[in-house]
């Protein structure tokens, strides 16, 4: 018997995909602003901007990978 709360709805899948893009953008922006804050706080070089932005990018990709793993795990049940 099929679970009525199954995630076979194409609108729900589209929502997950668009949410993943929003999460990635949010992580990149948070990393950028954190790097800028650290640069201004410690009078550091502009490398802090790059470090913060790349850290946000990698954390965002990790979060999306975990989200996809969770989503695909729920699909197989």
Q: Which tens digit of pLDDT belongs to each residue from 13-62?
A: 778 778 888 999 999 999 999 999 999 999 889 899 999 999 999 999 99
Task: Report the C-alpha gap between 38 and 57 in whole angstroms.
Answer: 17
Query: Can you give the residue ranges of every domain in the chain?
Result: 45-76
- Give the per-residue pLDDT at 74: 64
Radius of gyration for the chain, computed over Cα atoms and rounded to the nearest angstrom: 17
Task: Report the C-alpha gap between 35 and 56 in whole angstroms.
Answer: 10
pTM: predicted TM-score of the whole model, two decimal places: 0.74
- What sign for the dihedral angle of Cα 38, 44, 46, 50? negative
- Per-residue CA distances from 58 to 19, 46, 71 (Å): 17, 19, 20
């Amino acid at each position: 018997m099929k679970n009525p709360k199954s995630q076979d709805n194409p609108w729900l899948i589209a929502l997950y995909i668009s949410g993943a893009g929003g999460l990635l953008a949010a992580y990149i922006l948070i990393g950028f602003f954190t790097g800028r804050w650290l640069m201004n706080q410690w009078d550091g070089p502009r490398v802090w901007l790059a470090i913060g932005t790349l850290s946000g990018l990698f954390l965002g990709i990790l979060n999306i990978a975990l989200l996809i793993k969770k989503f695909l795990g729920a699909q197989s049940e």
